[in-house]
Amino acid sequence: MTLRSQQLSALLAAAAILAVSSGCASAAKDAARKQPKAPVPAAFTEKDGEAARAAAGVFVGAFADALRAGEWNRLPAELRPKVSEAMFRRMCDSFGKRRGVLVGTGFVTVLDQGIVRDYLWKFTFEKPAAPPAAPQKNEVIYLVRMGILEGKPAIVGCGFQQ
């Protein structure tokens, strides 16, 4: 193969690659234009914020009551489909061994993340100690993430923050 024919082959190969790649880019742009737009999440209004704080408070209260009593059926309705009785029992046993007994909860703050708000509570546990030592206190942050779903504040996530 002569140098001239090699150059011609390289030029034809480059042209073919350019034609194929521009066609792929064009197809990708067309596909992107045809995709439906994702709904824009709603932002919190002042009224939504008040309702979300109240709903998060009720949720945390029910969760704390269930932990204190060790009764799965006292869990908030939103948690029961996601937490089996066996999972709840293991969680209660683990907290009892590592942290002690739940003795109190208290609201800490709200973190405004724009489309969601994180409501933070402090859960205080006490673990008995051998006398004359005082019981050991353990504090853990519990987060309840609220969003606006179908125009109403809704719990979109929750859990202890380690």
pLDDT digits (tens, 9 = 90+) for 77-121: 989 999 999 999 999 999 889 999 999 999 999 999 888 999 999
**Ranges of residues in the chain whose predicted pLDDT is under 70:** 1-42
Half-sphere exposure of 9 (CA within 13 A, CB side): 6
What per-residue confidence (pLDDT) applies to 46?
80
- Looking at residue 65, its pLDDT comes to 96
What's the pLDDT at 52? Answer: 93
What's the pLDDT score for residue 16? 42
The per-residue pLDDT for 162 is: 75
Tell me the C-alpha distance between 129 and 98, whole Å: 13
For 154, the token pair is: 């809704």
Cβ-based neighbour number of residue 132 at 10 Å: 5
pLDDT score recorded for residue 33: 62
Check residue 150 and give its pLDDT: 84
Q: Is the pTM of this model over 0.75?
A: no
- The torsion angle over the Cα atoms of residues 29, 33, 35 and 41, rounded to 10 degrees, is 120
